[in-house]
Each structure stands twice: as C-alpha cells, then as structure tokens.
Structure 1
Amino acid sequence: MNRAIVHMDLDAFFVSCERLKNSALNGIPLIIGGGDRGVVASCSYEARKFGVHSAMPIRMALRLCPEAKIIKGDYELYSNLSHTVTDMIRERVPVVEKASIDEFYLDLSGMDKFFGCYRWTQEMALSITKEVGLPVSFALSANKTVSKIGTGESKPGGKLEIRETEIKPFLNPLSVRKIPMVGDRTFQLLSRVGIRTIHTLSEMPVLVLQQMIGTNGKELWKKANGIDENPVIPYSERKSISTEKTFATDTMDIPDLQRILNGMSEKLAYQLRQEKWLTSTVVVKIRYANFDTETKQTRIAYTSADHTLSRVALELFNRLYTRRMRIRLIGLRFTDLVHGRHQMNLFEDTEEQMSLYRTMDHLKNRFGADAVGRASGFDFEHKTLL
C-alpha cells in the first residue's frame, strides 16, 4: 500500500492568534516577542519581507523593520487554540502526530479507497480555518520529509500534492537548507565543497557524506533522494517525564523541600531540551507521613525553560502543602508534551538568558547533567558549583 503522509502547519501561528483576537493587526508588520532585550518568537509575513525571522534579537528586528508593532504574546491564547485544533484533527484523522504547537503529521494511507486524500485534507484545512479562524498550509506526499518540505514551499495558505513520480523533480532544484535536518553548520560544510542544491547532494556517494558529516550522512542522503521510512507517531496527551524523591526521614524543612523541587525542575527541563520536547502541564505530588498523597497541577504555555518551570512548580507546592504535616515524598511531573521548535520561552527570555541556557546545556552535555546548575537547586553537601 502506498503511503499518504500529510504535513499540516498553522501559518505564522502566534501572529494569526493575535489577529484573531484583534483584526486591527491584519496587514501590518507584526512581531511577537519580549521587550527590547528579548528575541522574536514569531513575526508576520509583512515583517519577514524586511528580513525579520524567529529567534532574532528584537533590537535587530526593529532596525530592519522600524514600523513593526511589537506584542509580547498571549501564552494562554496560543495554548488553548493549539489544543482546539489538535482535538479537531484527532477526531477525524486515523493516525496523527503533533510535531509542535502548530504543526502536525497525518497518516492517511489507505484512505484513497474511500475518499481522495488530497480532497479530504483540503476539507480538513478549510474546516480548521472556518471553525477556529486560523489559516493552514499543508502538503501531501509519500513520507514526512517530502511533505514537510512541501508545506514550507507552499506557505502561506498553500496546498500542495507531491506524487511519487514528482518527488525528485520537486526536490532537486531546492537548496539543501530545505531538508529539515540541515542546520547552519551542516549547510556551511556542504557549501564549502559545492553542495548547495538537493540534486547535487542526492548524487553524492553515501560513504563520502559519512566521512564529511559522520553517521548522519546516510540519513541525509536518503532524505535528499526523497526516502524517509519514519512512521507517523500517534500523539498522546499522556506522554510525560517525571521524578520523585522519598526521604529517609520525614521532613517539614520547607527551604530544603523548595531546593529539591528546584533541582527537579532543572533536571527535567534539561531532559526536555535534550529530547526536544516542550511541556504544557506541570504536576507536583507530595506524600505525607501518614501516606496520604495529594497532587496539584496547572496548564501553562509550552516551554522547556528552567526558570519558568521552577517558578510554576514552587507556586503549586505552596498551594498544595497546607496541612503542615511531615512529608515523606515529593514528586514533579511534566506532561502534555509536544516536540518544540524553540527550547526557551521566547516571550520572556532575554538574549542573555538564552545564551546562559546554551552554555549550561553545553557544559552538562560535556561533563554530565550534574556538572553545573542554579544555586537554588543544588545540594551543597554533595555537589560543587562551577
């Protein structure tokens, strides 16, 4: 059976959400992000014409597009609309993978027997726009890589079908930058040896690519040739990561409990970033000395930033711990995970904070997860601050 894989993307999602709330923002250059020291979380197509793009410092964006309007962003609105669209798709699609807050993979293999896949996807996209008010782009092809590249080429508001026989002609003239796994470093490396188009890359010997870029060389060659066997992974709201600690002696030491919770937040947030997840729900659990167990949770905007998750976890703990009884266990869980493009809270983080996270993660990757951390989460009896 031939595969039919759709990549569906909500166009300029954060911007579209803001325009849904305020139609006066339609048609003007718009930047979603923090203050002068923050970075661009998203921007309208009007702003992109001036060279503005995501993760760019706000100050630089304003130099390129001084007429742009800056909006800090509404976390709750974005999360709610994302969940609304997710629920709509899951009700109608056999297999769906939520790749990030605003993009999805749909496996429609076999549906051509009953209803044309392209026509079905087109009606699904129209339903989202009509019922939720958000513009959608999509591409239908034989695998995830080709459909994702196709969506990028069709935006904004595009609809594209790339049949099996059309894959190579479609991919060949495109820049190697269009392949999802090619970052700036890989692009520069390939460019230095004259590999700038997907067609040139597809004709390179696999062994040569492996010598150039390591074990990913074969995977890159396959993608350049339109080959991708990766399945659409069914999305599950239950996916989570968690940790907990049982004390040898029951405790009421609030500062120590808060320190432990901070350490847990940092450890789990690092794991989120390493595995490229974002969480939208934080759950804190405590078990009292008499074995009564209580939990409290809250939904937040998708993030993987330590300082945001730590703050929310402490707020939940303070609301949860009301009995003033000794505690024998404390736990923390992050759930409702989606794969995220951004590893930080781009609405609140400054350039300095993002640089700090990159440095800390680099040190942890090199020397171990406990090599460096915030003082508020460290056990000073057993660890050393760098």
Structure 2
Amino acid sequence: MSKWYPKKGRVILHVDMNSFYASVEAAYNPELKGKALAIAGNPEERRGIIVTSSYEARAKGVKTTMPLWEARRLCPELIVMRPNFERYRTASKEMFKILSEVTPFVQPVSIDEGYMDITDCEEQGSPLQIAETIQKRIANELDLPSSIGIAPNKFLAKMASDMKKPMGITVLRKRDLQNKLWPLPVGEMYGIGAKTAEKLNNVQIFTIKDLVEADSYYLKRLLGINGERLQNRANGIDPNPVDPDAIHDFKSIGSSETLPQDTTDENEIRKLFRQLSRNVTRRLKRKQSVGRNVQIMIRFFDRKTITRSIKLPDFIEEEDDIFTVSYELFEQHWNGDPVRLLGVTIQDIAEKKEVAHQLDLFTYEKEASKEGLYQAIDKLTEKYGKNPFTTIKHTEEDNQPRTSFQKDFLDDYKK
C-alpha cells in the first residue's frame, strides 16, 4: 500500500460535482433524469441567461452563459427552471460532510468542488479506492454524480477531474504529463482564460506542451509573473497546500453581473447597482465584516474595462451606503457609452469585532436603538428571501444566480 503514498510529496484529490445545479434538481425530481434541463435566472424571459445545464442539454449545444432564446432554439425540448438556492446549499453541505469524514484536510473552493489531502489516509485504502468510495457515497446517499482527480498537487488534481465527466476518476502523475496533459490546447489549462489563451496563440503557443517549451523570460514579459506560474504548473509544479482555513482568508468581497444587453438606460443601470450592493451587503453580514474602500468595475460595449475606487473615512456594511458610494463613483466616471458589465467590490475588509467604531454619544444611541430592528429585518429577510420592509420595488429579486452565491456557503458543512 505504501507505494501509493510517497514518503515525500502529497496525494491530493479534487472532487468536482457534475452539472451541479441541474443534477440537484434531477435528484429532487427523478422525472427530470435523462432530460435536457437548464437552470436560468429568468426562464419566463427570452433575455435570461443559462447558468448550468444537464449533459443531455449540453449534447444539443446548450452552454453556460448562453442567452435563453438561443438555448431554446438549439434544444426546443429544453426544460428550464429557476434556481433553488436552498436546495443547492443543502446538497453542498452534505457533500462536503462526506469528504470531511475521510480527512480533516478539505478545502472547499466553490459550492460544488473542493480539494482533499489524503496523504495520511493509507489505512483507508489506496487513493483510487478512496476516490471510488467517495464517488459511490455521493451517488448513493445524495443521488448526485461527481468526477474526481487524483494527483500529487492541486493543479494536476484539478486538471485530472476535468478529464472524465460525468462520473469519472482520473489519476494524473507527473510521469503522465507528456501523454495526458501536454497535448491539450493551452486554453483548456486551469488558470488560462480566453484572453490569456489568445495572447499565447498569437505567439504560436497552442498546446500545453508549447507552453512548457516556451522561453520563460519571454513568457514573463508577455504575461508578467503569471507567465512563470503557468509554465511551472504545465510542468506539474504547484506547491500550494490544501488549506482548510483558506475560505476565511479574504481581502475583498464583490459582486458583478453582465447585463442582458449593452445599455445606456440609467434606470436599468441604477437598478443593477442596487442589486449588486445588496449582494455585497449580504456577504459582508455573513462574514461579520465591514470595509472602507469601495471599488466599481465598468465594462463597456467594446470590452474596454475600467475600475475606480474611493477610500472612505469610516467602515461601512449597509446596502444603502454601498449603493450610494458605488453609484456616485459610476456617475463620476461614466462617459455615456453603452455598458456591458458592472461590478461592486468592498475592499480593506476587517472583521466587525476587530473594528473599534468611533461614535459620539448621540450617534451611538441612534445606532443602538436601531440594532433590534436591523436584526429583526435580517431574520425576516433570511426567512422570506427579501426585505419585507423595503420601500423600493424590485422586479427581479434574488433569482439571478451569481458567483458570490457559491462563496457564501463554503464552510456550511462545518456547522
């Protein structure tokens, strides 16, 4: 058995749930199994965006971020559902509980994937046996499919889990790189997005092998320090440990969203800033944190992107404050061109308990008198999904899934 567990080095698993949102819905309603299913924020509207889809839908060309009208054109029989956040959170929590029963060294990275360091789990069997047990338990107990990568580090484990979907288990050792990893297009490498892939393609780097063989100095000039990091990973080098506490290390909290179509409609823009501010506020409160640097991101119709920020004299956490500051920043720096994407981020984060809020007597009494009200509203908001006392009417409450949703619940399984 010891041959599977090297004296020097690690054994890492990457567990990746397959088509998670759609799979959870099919587990909840077995009649959906085997059918083309997609999760979208606004299934009643043509402008809704596909968040995820079943493999049956993907086989017809349905893809994440695709407009709903296009998905229905490609797949007329497509079943489209709104997201059920509570279901996904519950399923995620149970999945991570299964992982944590194998080892305490579990690092969630999103609601549907995480790393495990099983180096010290020799008594439970070989890495392949452990992976098979995990996959079977998730399938039998939760009725959900998953893929698992086994490797000596996190990067290779992540790449391995992507190689066989759904319900695959892949071992990727350093001696396998030449045959399994290097022939892949460079754009399929974890950590390389579309823009970076385009830059690499423009200099004749088309495969991961090309990246390995490229001049490191030239890569650094082209991509900065990231060029060296990507080349090391392509060579199978990734020193980052599995860190169960990494979910608590955050320096900023943000939310962004692409508009259904490029717009100059100030009412639509203002409404989105309100929603983004609400998302950020929710995450701040979950983490019991405050911040005093507000940053906005504006991506225009031509993909030109700018960020603007302002440091405040005091920490903030409330939706109205974040909205007011971020929208004022937007008004100051918007040139009137059509907007494609907006983002709001709070930086300079600190835990509430560590921040000494300097208040004069009158301010303190005013805030203290409201604390009970704030708590009551938060409880009702948690229960009913929206603030029942809000004076602003929102036509699209929190039905659009956002990336921040995944980050909010990463440590739920420990509760």
- Smaller-chain TM-score range? 0.5 to 0.7
1:1-386 equivalence runs, <5 A: 1-35=8-42, 36-112=46-122, 115-235=125-245, 240=287, 242-243=289-290, 259-260=320-321, 262-263=323-324, 270-271=344-345, 288=365, 294=372, 296=375, 297=378, 312=386, 315=387, 347-348=399-400
Partner Cα separation in structure 2 for residue 200 and residue 236 of structure 1: 32
The residue identity in structure 2 corresponding to 1:55 is: T
Structure 2 length-normalised TM: 0.62
The residue identity in structure 2 corresponding to 1:22 is: N
RMSD of aligned residue pairs (Cα, Å): 3.6
Q: Say whether the 8 Å CA contact 1:38–1:349 is kept in structure 2.
A: no
Q: CA deviation at 1:299?
A: 11
Q: Say whether the 8 Å CA contact 1:6–1:140 is kept in structure 2.
A: yes
Partner Cα separation in structure 2 for residue 131 and residue 265 of structure 1: 45
**Percent identity, aligned pairs only?**
29
Highest RCO, 1 vs 2 (Cα 8 Å, sep ≥ 6): 1
Q: CA deviation at 1:300?
A: 9.1
Secondary structure of 1:42's counterpart equals: strand
Partner Cα separation in structure 1 for residue 388 and residue 368 of structure 2: 20
Secondary structure of 2:162's counterpart equals: helix
Flag the 1:92–1:78 CA change in 2: closer, same or farther, 3 A. same
Tell me the alpha carbon deviations over residues 164-219 of structure 1, each in whole angstroms, 9 at most, x when there is no partner: 32233321111112211111111112122221111111111111111222221101
Secondary structure of 1:271's counterpart equals: strand
Q: Which residue in 1 is equivalent to 2:305?
A: none
Q: Say whether the 8 Å CA contact 2:83–2:401 is kept in structure 1.
A: no
Q: CA deviation at 1:42?
A: 0.3
The residue identity in structure 1 corresponding to 2:214 is: M
Q: Say whether the 8 Å CA contact 2:40–2:52 is kept in structure 1.
A: yes
Structure 1 length-normalised TM: 0.67
Q: CA deviation at 1:274?
A: 12
Secondary structure of 2:148's counterpart equals: strand
Gaps of 5+ in 2: 1-7, 250-286, 293-317, 330-342, 350-362, 391-396, 404-415
Partner Cα separation in structure 2 for residue 102 and residue 20 of structure 1: 15
Gaps of 5+ in 1: 246-256, 276-285, 302-310, 319-344, 355-386
The residue identity in structure 2 corresponding to 1:11 is: N
The residue identity in structure 1 corresponding to 2:87 is: L
Tell me the alpha carbon deviations over residues 13-67 of structure 1, each in whole angstroms, 9 at most, x when there is no partner: 0111110111111111111103321111101111112222111111222222222
The residue identity in structure 2 corresponding to 1:204 is: A
Partner Cα separation in structure 2 for residue 129 and residue 117 of structure 1: 18
Secondary structure of 1:67's counterpart equals: coil
The residue identity in structure 1 corresponding to 2:31 is: A
Q: Which residue in 2 is equivalent to 1:379?
A: none
Q: CA deviation at 1:263?
A: 4.9
**Count of residue pairs the alignment pairs up:** 293
Q: Say whether the 8 Å CA contact 1:40–1:346 is kept in structure 2.
A: no
* Structure 1 range deviating more: 60-69 or 99-108: 60-69
The residue identity in structure 2 corresponding to 1:18 is: E
The residue identity in structure 2 corresponding to 1:96 is: V
Q: CA deviation at 1:150?
A: 0.9
Partner Cα separation in structure 2 for residue 121 and residue 47 of structure 1: 27
Partner Cα separation in structure 1 for residue 346 and residue 94 of structure 2: 24
Flag the 1:176–1:241 CA change in 2: closer, same or farther, 3 A. farther
Q: Which residue in 1 is equivalent to 2:340?
A: none
